[in-house]
């Protein structure tokens, strides 16, 4: 591919397409939520980056397992029953409501019934899928988003491989529209005051988490960025020295942020991203008294 490996993706320039893609991935994710066995920390609902877009894992069904894949090269949502039976739902400018109608109808054509709640989650001022009239879709912007996810996925996997304790897959959460990986100390975490069932499950154990998101959502940060946090946050974490230059702590979100545009402008984006991931992890693990020798793969001699 001749395209930039880390293309620009200013939030303001694609926010309407981002909204559409966010809602569409939520629909697919909710089908996976409805039909797959629940696993710890909700890992069963996440999507995963592929060489063409984002996909569910195989979803069990009486007619055989099927997958839902967003092909962001040919711009299709591919519903594949794995027995030669498949349908494509085009990703084109259309209202969220129209897409939802077509998506559900196509599932039914294949004999797939999934009862999903049509209200989006983790977004400000949510509108039911079947009532959302927003309808932009810029294929180039969506493709750029996928290319960033694919590049970030590779670096996060490299970072993940350094850890031999409990660790999540590198996966994409459609609620917050972020790609992330989460390491665990192995110790239970104290209950979070006021937490709902999803949050209680997600943060039942001490974690160090990092990932990429395009900005926006429930937080007031209008730029794409890499982020990292520790939960529960140990004393002194917010003031820890984090590399590379340009990283800062966001006190409202309680996360470290490394602006995506700073990373992509670096001479070696992969190296500075790994530096961000490693330094934020070390800050949380050291201040939180994690048993690092037991949790980390020894460095090559």
> Tens digits of per-residue pLDDT, 178-196?
999 999 999 999 988 888 8
Confidence check: pLDDT of 230 > 60 = yes
Per-residue pLDDT, 301: 59
Angle (CA) 95-100-101 rounded to 5° is 100
pLDDT > 90 fraction of the chain, expressed in percent and rounded: 90
pLDDT digits (tens, 9 = 90+) for 58-82: 999 998 999 999 999 999 999 999 8
Instruction: Determine contact, residues 9/225, Cβ cutoff 8 Å.
Output: no
Instruction: Determine contact, residues 156/149, Cβ cutoff 8 Å.
Output: no
Confidence check: pLDDT of 107 > 50 = yes
């Amino acid at each position: 591919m001749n395209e930039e490996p880390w293309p620009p993706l200013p939030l303001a320039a694609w926010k309407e397409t981002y909204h559409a893609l966010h809602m569409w991935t939520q629909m697919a994710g909710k089908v996976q939520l409805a039909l797959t066995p629940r696993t710890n920390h909700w890992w069963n609902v996440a999507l995963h980056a592929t060489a063409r877009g984002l996909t569910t894992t195989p979803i069990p069904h009486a007619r055989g397992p099927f997958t839902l894949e967003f092909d962001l090269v040919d711009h299709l949502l591919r519903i594949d029953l794995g027995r030669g039976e498949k349908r494509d739902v085009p990703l084109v400018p259309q209202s969220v409501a129209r897409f939802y109608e077509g998506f559900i109808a196509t599932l039914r054509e294949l004999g797939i019934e999934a009862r999903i709640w049509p209200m989006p989650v983790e977004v400000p001022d949510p509108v039911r899928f079947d009532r959302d009239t927003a309808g932009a879709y810029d294929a180039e912007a969506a493709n750029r988003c996928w290319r960033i996810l694919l590049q970030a996925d590779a670096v996060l996997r490299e970072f993940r491989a350094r850890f031999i304790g409990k660790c999540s897959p590198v996966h994409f959460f459609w609620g917050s529209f972020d790609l992330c990986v989460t390491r665990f100390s192995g110790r239970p975490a104290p209950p979070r005051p006021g937490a709902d069932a999803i949050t209680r499950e997600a943060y039942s154990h001490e974690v160090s988490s990092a990932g990429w998101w395009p900005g926006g959502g429930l937080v007031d940060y209008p730029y794409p960025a890499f982020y990292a946090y520790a939960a529960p946050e140990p004393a002194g974490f917010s003031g820890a020295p984090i590399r590379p230059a340009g990283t800062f702590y966001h006190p409202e979100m309680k996360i470290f942020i490394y602006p995506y545009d700073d990373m992509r402008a670096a001479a070696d984006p992969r190296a500075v991203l790994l530096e961000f991931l490693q330094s934020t992890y070390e800050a949380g693990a050291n201040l939180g008294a994690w048993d690092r020798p037991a949790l980390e793969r020894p460095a090559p001699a």
